[in-house]
Amino acid sequence: MKKRIGFIGLGIMGKALAKNLIAKGFKISVYNRTREKTKEFSDLGCSVAATAKELAQISNTVITMVENDEALENILYGPIGVFSGSSHGTYLINMSTISRDLCIKIAESCFEKGIKFLDSPVAGSKPLAEKGTLVILCGAKKEDIEENKDLLYAMGKTIINPGPPPAGTSLKLCVNILLAQMTIGLCESAVLAEKLSLDPSFIFETIKNSPALDCGYFRMKENNILNKDFTPAFSVKNMLKDLNYAEISAKSKQINLKGAHSAQEIFLKAFKEGFYNEDLTAVLKTIKG
């Protein structure tokens, strides 16, 4: 089946993913609620749909990368949503990080309509999205992944299949509570170093020379911490959203994740202090006080 790809959501991550598809030779149509963001793609020769429904009608594979539950529900459901225009046997690949409850609802809707659903959030932020080196956490049937491997590998370097939906979303939430706590630990270390009259760069020198501590994430965030550069790769707002979704999932299973809850409170404070659109390392300012 020749792929007719529709891409919805041209924000920081979606724009990078859509451009990677074009660079790999895929012809795509696009839709974005904010029309101005489609101009760049129109200039590249992409068709621009007026509604999500219209995009679905001209596509047999729809990819979504939007900010949160509300945005995705608005795009999928209703008289001008994707489900109103999708046909039996088509594919929906959601790459947004959403709540587990919404993922289950979407999976059920797809089953009822005969749409094949790939629950495919990503691990990685803007730089990795631009390089096409994201890790795609693809909750789906193996045959559906196989059918869409060319698309997925145009956007990421690794595909992990933890099981059917909502396994992709579940895994993403597990990974992000770890990421949040790693970020807070790094920021707290830097704040304490400064208070003890140490240059925080010594923390990173130690990390790089310690096999137990050295990891790509700490290296990626060195510039943010040392130069107080909070240009967003992944924002405080989006991390808080993911922590909120993880908290809901934990409560539904009667689990008290004290570390994740503490991280949620710190990110909420950073959000309220006005750092919501800054990189998640901006919690450094909240911790510093």
Q: What is the CATH number of the domain that holds 238?
A: 1.10.1040.10
Residues 6+ apart with CB under 8 A from 277: 232, 235, 236, 237
Query: Rounded to whole angstroms, how far apart are CA atoms 92 and 115?
Result: 7
Q: Which two tokens stand for residue 288?
A: 């510093």
Q: How far is CA 11 from CA 1, 19, 126, 260, 272, in A?
A: 29, 12, 10, 27, 23
Total tally of structural domains belonging to the chain:
2
Q: Tell me what pLDDT residue 2 has.
A: 85
Q: Tell me what pLDDT residue 26 has.
A: 97
Three-class secondary structure of residue 255 per DSSP: coil
Same domain membership, residue 280 and residue 246: yes
Residue 156 has phi, psi (to 5 degrees) of -145, 165
> Contact 31/10 with Cβ under 8 angstroms?
no
Residues of the chain with pLDDT under 70: 1
Amino acid at 50: A
Q: Which residues pair with 28 in a beta bridge?
A: 5
Q: Which residues of 243-280 are buried (b: 16+ CB within 10 A; e: fewer)?
A: bbbbbebbeeeeeebeebeebbebbeebbeeebbebbb
Domain that holds residue 256: 170-288
Same domain membership, residue 105 and residue 14: yes
Angle at CA 213, nearest 5°, toward 210 and 217?
Answer: 125
Same domain membership, residue 232 and residue 131: no
Q: Tell me what pLDDT residue 35 has.
A: 93
Query: Rounded to whole angstroms, how far apart are CA atoms 50 and 55?
Result: 8
Residue-by-residue DSSP string for 220-235? HTHHHHHHT----SSB
Same domain membership, residue 140 and residue 97: yes
CA 261 distance to own-chain centroid: 20
Same domain membership, residue 175 and residue 129: no
Same domain membership, residue 238 and residue 199: yes
* CATH code of the domain in which 33 resides: 3.40.50.720
Same domain membership, residue 47 and residue 121: yes
Domain boundary among 120, 148, 164: 164
Same domain membership, residue 127 and residue 229: no
Same domain membership, residue 109 and residue 32: yes
Q: Which residues of 112-127 are buried (b: 16+ CB within 10 A; e: fewer)?
A: eeebbbbbbbbbbbbe
Same domain membership, residue 69 and residue 43: yes
Same domain membership, residue 148 and residue 55: yes
Domain boundary among 164, 196, 221: 164
Same domain membership, residue 101 and residue 44: yes
Domain boundary among 164, 193, 228: 164
Predicted TM-score of the model (pTM): 0.95
